[in-house]
Amino acid sequence: MSKAHVIVYTRPGCHLCDEAKTAIRNAGCCDRFTLEEINIESDSELLRKYKHDIPVIVIDGVESFIHRVDPREFRTRIKRMENPI
């Protein structure tokens, strides 16, 4: 079974991004996904797309959360990716 791939689009100094990353860590399923953080300031297209909407959390290519992450819902979505219906 492969792990889900989670991307957090973020930028330096973003308190909502810090809160989202804490929620992800607190979801209790860190062993079930790989985490990649991407600074939107590193790419002009990402900056244009997400400038006012960070953090954006993408799970296996699906935009799953914007601005805030609920740890229980995050865990549910990770489990759903492991066992798609």
Residue 82 has pLDDT above 80, yes or no: no
- State the pLDDT at residue 44: 96
Q: What is the dihedral of CA 16, 38, 70, 25, to 10 degrees?
A: -100
* Residue given tokens 């997400």 in the structure block: 50
Give the model's pLDDT for residue 80: 87
Phi, psi angles (nearest 5°) of residue 4:
-65, 150
Mean pLDDT calculated for residue range 59-71: 96
Q: What is the mean pLDDT of residues 46-69?
A: 96
pTM value? 0.92
Domain residue spans in the chain?
4-82
Secondary structure tally for the chain: helices H, strands E: 3, 4
What topology does CATH give the domain 4-82?
A: Glutaredoxin (3.40.30)
